[in-house]
């Protein structure tokens, strides 16, 4: 196989991508989080020159040799270890398994469609609205105006601001509190009221067909390079004539035909590039040996 797709078992977008790649006769293999969790073996090896290779044997008998892989698309942020009943044992095993998976990705970084960035890995950052807004600001994107109020009045003097409910979460579970307790202890957040709310898809650092955001293409590319996801969606709106970005979805559950075509083109180009590079390396090695 030349193209390897890592994704959660329920990832409809990646399953669609896999099917479409096969329709155009691309050699692709889809590997889910469950496939990795129940793999028969993982073998990481290094030669005397520090070159790494990995082989993985899946439970269905598939043998994956990463020296033959030309492009890797990754959407896995978590590998559940179903076979551990004890919660503490399962959490420990999941951390170890994910560390192993990260080492696999890092040792194959030239083949990754989007570079892996350690500081963003995991469900916490992926789903953290304010972590992602911070990244958007650092990339130079104008974001939706936000006001935090720590008093219990819950009112904003600016009528153009609307309240945003910040739900108290503890250990991934919504705490049941009375409205009065939540109002007392939870900061009240007000967001700028925007019009013409839209969502735009971004593939491999570029915006898919959205002319009204042409002025922000450089900033979007900088943001996506920082995050390292092959496919994201950006939500934005307008305050009068000014664009304000609202949120970022690192794992969109749907994909348009235009974005899918662009993603496939990026994958095929990456595959061709790495195939050409490996052929040149082999020729160079052979000429040296003679």
pTM here is 0.79
**Of 84 and 31, the one with more pLDDT:** 31
**Mean pLDDT throughout 45-72?**
89
pLDDT of residue 163: 55
Residue 162, strand partner residues: 191
State whether the Cα torsion 132-138-140-142 is positive or negative: positive
- Where helices occur in the chain by DSSP H, the ranges are 12-23, 33-37, 87-107, 123-126, 129-138, 179-185, 217-227, 257-289
Q: Does the structure show a pLDDT above 60 at 281? A: no
Torsion angle in degrees (nearest 10) through CA of 280, 281, 286, 287: 70
In this structure, are residues 26 and 268 in contact, taking their beta carbons and an 8 Å threshold?
yes
In this structure, are residues 251 and 7 in contact, taking their beta carbons and an 8 Å threshold?
no
User: Which of 1, 2, 48 has its CA nearest to residue 269?
Assistant: 2
**Mean pLDDT throughout 115-133?**
64
Domain range annotation of the chain: 3-112+261-289, 121-144+194-255, 145-193
**Mean pLDDT throughout 238-261?**
89
Q: Residue 45: pLDDT band by 50, 70, 90 thresholds?
A: confident
**Mean pLDDT throughout 210-232?**
86
Q: How many angstroms separate the CA atoms of 240 and 132, rounded?
A: 24
The correct CATH number of 121-144+194-255 out of 3.40.190.290, 3.40.50.300, 3.30.470.20, 3.90.1300.10 is 3.30.470.20
**Mean pLDDT throughout 235-255?**
88
β 161-164/63-65 pair status:
unpaired
Residue partners of 234: CB distance under 8 A and separation at least 6 = 199, 200, 202, 220, 245, 247, 248, 249
Q: How many angstroms separate the CA atoms of 229 and 227, rounded?
A: 6
What angle, rounded to 10 degrees, do the helices at 129-138 and 217-227 form? Answer: 130
Question: Could you report the per-residue pLDDT of 148-204, keeping only the tens digit for each?
Answer: 665 545 555 555 555 555 554 444 444 444 444 444 555 566 777 888 888 999 998
DSSP collapsed to 3 states, 97-163: HHHHHHHHHHHCHHHECCCCCHHHCCHHHHCCHHHHHHHHHHCCCCECCEEEECCCCCCCCCCCEEE
């Amino acid at each position: 196989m030349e193209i390897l797709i890592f994704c959660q078992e329920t990832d409809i977008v990646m399953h669609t991508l896999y099917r479409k790649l096969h329709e155009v006769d691309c050699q692709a293999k889809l590997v889910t989080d469950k496939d990795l969790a129940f793999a028969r073996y993982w073998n990481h090896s290094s030669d005397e020159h520090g070159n790494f290779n990995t082989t993985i044997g899946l439970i269905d008998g598939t043998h994956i040799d990463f020296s033959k892989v030309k492009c890797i698309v990754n959407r896995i942020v978590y590998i559940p270890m179903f076979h551990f009943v004890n919660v503490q044992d399962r959490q420990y095993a999941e951390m170890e398994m994910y560390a192993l998976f990260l080492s696999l990705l890092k040792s194959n970084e030239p083949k990754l469609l989007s570079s892996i960035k350690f500081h963003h890995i995991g469900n916490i950052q992926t789903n953290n609205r304010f972590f992602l807004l911070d990244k958007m600001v650092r990339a130079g994107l104008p974001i939706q105006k936000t006001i935090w109020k720590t008093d219990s009045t819950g009112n904003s003097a600016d009528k153009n601001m609307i309240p945003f409910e910040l739900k108290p979460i503890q250990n991934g579970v919504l705490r049941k509190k009375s409205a009065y307790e939540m109002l007392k202890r939870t900061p009240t957040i007000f967001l700028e009221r925007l019009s013409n709310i839209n969502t735009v898809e971004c593939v491999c650092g570029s915006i898919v067909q959205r002319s009204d955001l042409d002025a922000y293409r450089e900033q979007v590319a900088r943001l996506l390079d920082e995050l390292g996801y092959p496919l994201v969606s950006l939500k934005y709106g307008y305050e009068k004539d000014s664009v304000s970005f609202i949120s970022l979805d690192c794992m969109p559950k749907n994909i348009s035909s235009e974005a899918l075509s662009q993603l496939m083109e990026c994958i095929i180009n990456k595959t061709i590039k790495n195939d050409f590079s490996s052929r040149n390396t082999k020729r160079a090695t052979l000429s040296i040996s003679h």
